[in-house]
Amino acid sequence: MVARLPEVNMLNVQWLKRPSCFIALSSLLLIMSSLHATVEDALSATILSWRAPSTNTDGTPLTDLAGYKLYCGTQRGVYTQSVNVGNVTKYTLTTLPLGTNYCVATAYDTTGTESAYSNEVSKIDQGMAVSGKQSGMALFRNGSWYLYNSESDIYYSAQWGVAGDIPVPGDYDGIGSKEMAVFRPSNGTWYIFNAATRTQRAVKFGANGDIPVPGDYDGDGKTDIAVYRPSEGNWYIKSSSTNTNSIVKWGVSTDVPAVGDYDGDGKADIAVYRPSNGTWYILNSSTNSSKAVVWGSGSDVPVVGDYDGDGKADIAVYRSSNGTWYILNSSNNSSKAVVWGSSGDVPAAGDYDGDGKADLTVYRPSNGNWYVKKSSTNTSKVVKWGISTDTALAY
């Protein structure tokens, strides 16, 4: 007689190795009658646990249960991995790839008779990495990350950092997606989590008072660790391709760093915005030439992004006093002013619709809403995601 299908509820994902991290996922149900399971995600493993069924499919007591089998794959209904876990109620899977995995389970008795597949469950695991065209909406809250992946419509959360850290997501390992990283001013250390290998590293680079300015300065496809030191007007850059350090004098103490690929050569250019005269000072990496562009005034916030989709960063500012974005397009040197926001909003431009252009976006701390103006359709989107004290940024 075949045991009834166990019931599995995939409740959450939790990283088990230090540092302690937690990713809350929406409840995913794998229906297997009278068997309940949870799923945890370690830095290198996924753990399934459950309670054993007590009856057969006809309702009679189950007395010859011998064990369970798990089947998983990266396509719905196609299971390329299977494992006989024996008669245990918890099992660790260490071979599931990042991305979406679909799993089912069966029970079998002492004669080897196996039940039908349970209902299928899926778990999307990108290790807090967002790949693909679209930006994710990220919040940093006292060491916790909350990410809405607009491409997969999935919400994640994870612990990475402590209160006082500055979030600096980037592709530090060249995996093709952003990874969680923080800069800790108190000790000048960068803490980076590699979502592909589930490993972590700490890099001492910087000092208290430095402003983190990560970017791909050497064009190797990896984000380089870098800081701007206002007290000196110096940029300190650690090249990922050569593991060498460089220092560039560019700016004064009151300047605001505004890193971007302004010349379209695939390398981040050193640049600052000077509020005192509303001028941008840009050092092009392709020619080592500089230029100064007057664009902005007073307390404007620089909002670098590729708004026209030409592969170059556009000079742009957000003026909180009137909720207006002032953009200078690099493709044709044309300008535009767009009202999108209100006083107190935090600009968080990113390519949320995946069309290759930065979308005008603000985060409103007063109500925790993101307001996105899609460049592809000229339509708007409002997403409730955050609280007043969160640090909001595109991921």
DSSP line for 186-202: TTTEEEEEETTTTEEEE
Q: Which amino acid is at 382?
A: V
211-212, strands of its sheet edge to edge: 211-212, 225-229, 234-238, 245-249
Separation of alpha carbons 287 and 293, rounded Å: 17
Separation of alpha carbons 295 and 289, rounded Å: 19
Separation of alpha carbons 350 and 358, rounded Å: 5
The pLDDT assigned to 268 comes to 98
The pLDDT assigned to 151 comes to 58
Separation of alpha carbons 144 and 142, rounded Å: 6
Question: Whose CA is closest to 19, among 41, 35, 3, 43?
Answer: 43
Contact 300, 317 (CB under 8 A): yes
* The pTM of the whole model exceeds 0.75: no
The pLDDT assigned to 309 comes to 97
Low-confidence ranges of the chain (pLDDT < 50): 1-44
Fill in the DSSP letter of residue 244.
-
Fill in the DSSP letter of residue 395.
-
The pLDDT assigned to 115 comes to 82
- Dihedral sign computed on CA atoms, order 82, 83, 88, 90: negative
